[in-house]
Structure 1
Amino acid sequence: MLRRIALVLVIIGAINWLLVGLFEWDLVTAIFGGDHIRHSSWFSRIIYILVGISGLVAIPILFGRNERAR
């Protein structure tokens, strides 16, 4: 159960970074308060986008069967 919660938080964080990378908009800060507009370098935005895409790719892992590697 702890692993699933951690995975959900990682996915949410990755999607948030995707939004920062694409639109310079921080969803978590917009919801919980603070300056939700970020100004980042292009290199940082590329990293944010890659992390966000990785989070989207991880979504099926959350709903996959819980099999352990042998």
Structure 2
Amino acid sequence: MRTLDIIALTLVVIGALNWGLIGFFRFDLVASLFGTMSTATRVIYALVGLGGLYALSFFGNERSTGDTKEVK
């Protein structure tokens, strides 16, 4: 599952950067690269959305910190 986590995180970062560009500069990088609402643009937006939905599951996961002591 580690690979899927990395892919989802990458998609979330791409989406966040694109929204940052839209918010600060009114520049949609995805649309400028692939065309406004072209098939490729819609696929990228859909993948970013799915990555975001999957990333919601990160909130429920406990990550190992390397410490093996059990908290009581």
TM-score (norm 2): 0.48
TM-score (norm 1): 0.49
**Structure having the higher Rg:** 2
